[in-house]
A and B are shown apart, each in its own frame.
Chain A
Amino acid sequence: MHPTAPDAARTTARARLRARALWHATQQWMLAASVGLRRSWRRSLQIRVVTITLLASSLPVGGFAYLVIDQSSRILLGNAEQETRARLEHSAGYAARQLGVHQSPGEAPLQATFESTIDYLGGGGRRQDSGDVVVLMASEYPHITTAASIQDEARKQVESLISDELKDKVAEGKVPWQIRTGDLGAGAGRTKYLVYGSPVPTKFGQVELYHLRPLTSQDTAANQIRAMVLATGVALVILLGLLAALVTRMVVTPVRVAARTAQRLSAGLLDQRMVVDGEDDLARLAASFNQMATNLQRQIVRLEELSRLQRRFTSDVSHELRTPLTTVRMAADLIFASRDEFDPAVARSAELLQAELDRFESLLTDLLEISRFDAGFAVLDAEPTDLVPVVQRVMDRLDRLAGRLGVPLRLELPDGPVIAEVDPRRVERVVRNLVGNAVEHGESRPVEVRVGVDRTAVAITVRDYGVGFTPDEAKLVFNRFWRADPSRARQTGGTGLGLSISLEDARLHGGWLEAWGAPGQGAQFRLTLPVRAGDRIISSPLPLVPADAEAPTGGVPAPVAGKGPLPATGVSERVEVTK
């Protein structure tokens, strides 16, 4: 059944589709293959060395092979040419003698003499064993038929092998030669012939004698030589490649083993070692590697031990200091509660005792917290938390202090809850620190707290309009025990560790804590935390430089202390100086 026209069209379309799919697949495959090749090239020293060796060795080997082949065929041809020339000279002499009896070209027996001469020279009408063909022709006398030592049917072919160029040269009295290819029958197929021509002087003028010598044996010899030389060359190149592969393997294998061992070491398997075999360079590599691993292991174990001791010490100090402090604290409270019954000096002492105990306590708490960060034992207790009540709680608690200092507190919140996976205790501590600082340095001007959120991050900024700080100071605010103005009276009795701890808290969350400040314009701190714990944040929902900040004079960028996990440049990129 023949397909109808639409059927045929469908079939063609399908075939085209299939062809396209195939082409597509091939392209994909080639792409994948090229990517794979490129990757192997980049990643394997062995493949590179072997490839380069193959390329580099095949050039001289190829050149050498070409030279040998060229030279040998030249020599073969030279021999054949000399031999043919000698024979031709001999034949020309014989022909001259034979034809010498004729006085004019018109003589009837001339043709017979031609034939007989060729008969003689051609070995009695047959081809000579060598397959040589002898041709005697008289180009100037068209009535004389060319004689050749070959069957008549091939005579035309023979004549076509003798080019006009050769004939001209012979006519000029030279003895030229040429290499031509033709088929003279006798089942030899197309063969290369060395065609040698020589003038034969006669009494009536000049005729030409040609020797056609098949170069079959020379060709065969040349082919054999070529095949042999090429085979040898290829074998040599392959051998060199194998050698290179072997040598690189000897070197690369221990290197790979070293790399693998190093990987295991860095993964924490500290007792991994390489096998040391012999006394050569590679053995020395293995030995040095092992020594390095041993030293590393010893160091790590010692550091772990130190760290464990540090942790233990921190914990012990914590307990040992806190227990007596609790007793003192309770005793001081009791004395403080009944201070009215004492005389004024003792009563005041009780007050001082009480106040300084507070300070001592917060200092101790902060020191222990910092030492916990230093020892790397701070743990993030992240849970989905709404930041709004956290911030509000801090504001409520600092309200009294702010009221006392005449600092209005303002809070700007986005609509709805601001939920992020954070450690609420730490975030609250950071906000308390920032707002507390702002209130303390607020110079009775408002302190503005903003909360912002986007898809990946939450941010809290705390802005004050106090004295602010210079760019140099902006770099120092997170330093431990740093104070903007040591002579200034402290209001809240901070420990000087608040911002350092806040910075560590922000880092523990994978967040940023940054400071902006300008003298006379106040300061703004920005806390940015990822919405999902462990995510990397790349931008903050709130700007670090407040919108009401004056543009810095003289094109100096706004002072920014980048204190996130990113380098400072990554932070300053995002700073837009408005106005």
Chain B
Amino acid sequence: MRARVLVVDDDPALAEMLGIVLRSEGFQPSFVADGERALAAFRDSRPDIVLLDLMLPGMSGIDVARAIRAESGVPIVMLTAKSDTVDVVLGLESGADDYVVKPFKPKELVARIRARLRRSEDAAPEMLSIGPPTNQITIDVPAHTVTRDGQEIKLTPLEFDLLVALARKPRQVFTREVLLEQVWGYRHAADTRLVNVHVQRLRAKIEADPERPEVILTVRGVGYKAGTG
């Protein structure tokens, strides 16, 4: 089945070009040119992934990302002209999973989309747990569910992948680069802001007190590790 991609971009030439590239790579694109109609288009087309330009007429890309995130965990890849930390971090904090900076190469974009769509197909029953006894988080990997005290916690697929990566090797310290490779599928990129922002987002959902994390611990100067208490 061909993956559906919703392209939210106001530049018709770029949108058309994106369409050509995406179709040639076997995706099924649909388009919307402004932010206000983006949410309706999202509900109509039920895409597998959203390509979102941050600078949009009407509603800004940030608001669109927030609105989509409020009702779905669908992967969002931002297209941004600005690589400044403020812009990137703002985009990631509003719910985007990944970003590509214009001008990007088609291969790069396709790689990003594929990485976000790639789901672990291994259905072997696997139950993981992470966190100290007082805040035990249980992960049912094939079912893609995360629970604490029998209560389900809604995570986006990316957040789920990040948590699983950490929980599978509870004693290992993960550098941001390793996490980028395992979770985002980057080979060489060094943009650790992706990891930092998503760890913050994940902590906000699973930690009892995000200011004093117990489930995902920071190892200063190195990276992150699972907290096992």
Contact = CB atoms under 8 A, between A and B. Distances in A.
- Specify whether A and B are partners: yes
Interface of A: 315, 318-319, 322-331, 333-334, 361, 372, 377, 379, 381, 383-386, 389-390, 393, 396-397, 417, 419, 424-425, 428
Nearest to B219: A384
B222 A386 contact: yes
Given A330-B21, A417-B221, 15 more contacts: A315-B82, A319-B81, A319-B102, A322-B81, A322-B102, A323-B14, A323-B102, A325-B103, A326-B17, A327-B11, A379-B84, A381-B193, A383-B192, A424-B192, A425-B190
A390 B18 CA distance: 33
A419 B221 contact: yes
Interface of B: 11, 13-14, 17-18, 20-21, 24, 55, 79, 81-82, 84-86, 102-107, 175, 177, 188, 190-193, 196, 220-222
Contacts of A326: 14, 17, 79, 102-104
A322 B221 contact: no
B190 A424 contact: yes
B103 A331 contact: no
Given A319-B82, A381-B193, A393-B188, A327 B14 contact: yes
A33 to B, nearest CB: 49
Interface SS majority for chain A? helix
A381 B85 CA distance: 8
A393 B13 contact: no
Which 9 interchain pairs have the tightest Cβ spacing?
Answer: A384-B221, A322-B102, A319-B81, A326-B103, A322-B81, A325-B103, A419-B221, A326-B102, A329-B103
B16 to A, nearest CB: 8
A329 B105 contact: yes
8 contacts: A318-B82, A326-B79, A326-B102, A327-B11, A330-B17, A381-B193, A383-B196, A393-B188
B220 A428 contact: no
A322 B55 CA distance: 12
Contacts of A417: 221
A361 B55 CA distance: 20
Contacts of B196: 383
Nearest to B222: A386
Contacts of B105: 329-330, 333
A328 B79 CA distance: 16
Nearest to B10: A323
Contacts of B192: 383, 424
Contacts of A386: 175, 221-222
Contact of B190 (A322, A323, A419, A428): A428
Contact of B85 (A323, A329, A379, A385): A379
Given A333-B107, A361-B103, A381-B193, A327 B13 contact: yes
Nearest to A396: B188
Contact of B55 (A319, A377, A385): A319
A330 B106 CA distance: 6
A330 B18 contact: yes
Contact of B106 (A318, A334, A384, A397): A334
A417 B219 CA distance: 14
Contacts of A331: 17
A397 B103 CA distance: 21
A390 B188 CA distance: 10
A315 B81 CA distance: 8
Nearest to A325: B103
Contacts of A324: 11, 13-14
A359 to B, nearest CB: 12
A27 to B, nearest CB: 48
Contacts of A393: 188, 190
A489 B220 CA distance: 45
Contact of B17 (A327, A390, A419): A327
Contacts of B82: 315, 318-319
